[in-house]
Chains A and B, each alone.
Chain A
Amino acid sequence: MKNRLIMTSMEDSVFLYAPEKLHEAFQQIKSDTCSPGDILTALARGIDKARKHFRTGTYSIPEFLLAIDAYREGVNLMKHHLFGKQPKEAGDEQKPHIVIGVVEGDVHDMGKNIVSAVMEACGYRVLDMGNNVPNDLFLDALTTTNAGVLALSCMMSTPMDNMKGLIGMVKKLFPKTAVIVGGAPFDANLALRIGADGYAESAIAIPEETRKLLPLSTV
Chain B
Amino acid sequence: MDYLLSHVAQKVGYPSGETIPEDKKKKVQSIIEKGLTCIETRYIYKATPVVSRDSLSISGKGIVIESPKWATLLNHMQAPFILYCFTLTLGKKMDEVIQASQETSLFEAFVMDAFGSVITEYEADQLAHYLTGRPEAQLYEFSRRFSPGYCDWKLQPGQDRLFHFLKPEAIGLTCLSSGAMVPVKSISAVMIAARKVKKTSPCFFCNEDACAHRRWK
Residues of A within 8 A of B (CB): 60-63, 65-66, 68-69, 72, 104-110, 113-114, 117, 132, 156-159
Is the Cβ of A117 less than 8 Å from the Cβ of B182? no
Known: A105-B177, A106-B178, A107-B184. A117 touches B106 (CB 8 A): yes
Q: Which residues of B contact A104 (CB under 8 A)?
A: 178
Is the Cβ of B13 less than 8 Å from the Cβ of A107? no
- Considering the complex, give the chain A residue whose CB is closest to the CB of B107: A65
Is the Cβ of A156 less than 8 Å from the Cβ of B155? yes
Known: A106-B180, A108-B184. A62 touches B155 (CB 8 A): no
Q: Which residues of A contact B184 (CB under 8 A)?
A: 107-108
Q: Which residues of B contact A158 (CB under 8 A)?
A: 155-156, 178-180
Q: How far is the CB of B9 from chain A (nearest CB, A)?
A: 9
- Considering the complex, give the chain B residue whose CB is closest to the CB of A110: B113
Q: Which residues of B contact A69 (CB under 8 A)?
A: 105-107
Scoring B residues 122 to 148 as 1 if CB is less than 8 Å from chain A, else 0, what string do you get?
Answer: 000000000000000000000000000
Is the Cβ of A68 less than 8 Å from the Cβ of B155? no
Is the Cβ of A113 less than 8 Å from the Cβ of B156? no
Q: Which residues of A contact B110 (CB under 8 A)?
A: 61-62, 65, 110, 114
Is the Cβ of A114 less than 8 Å from the Cβ of B177? no
Task: Find residues 154-212 in chain B having any chain A CB closer than 8 Å to their own CB.
Answer: 155-156, 176-180, 182, 184
Q: Which residues of B contact A107 (CB under 8 A)?
A: 176, 180, 182, 184
Q: Which of A60, A69, A108 has the most CB of B within 10 A?
A: A60
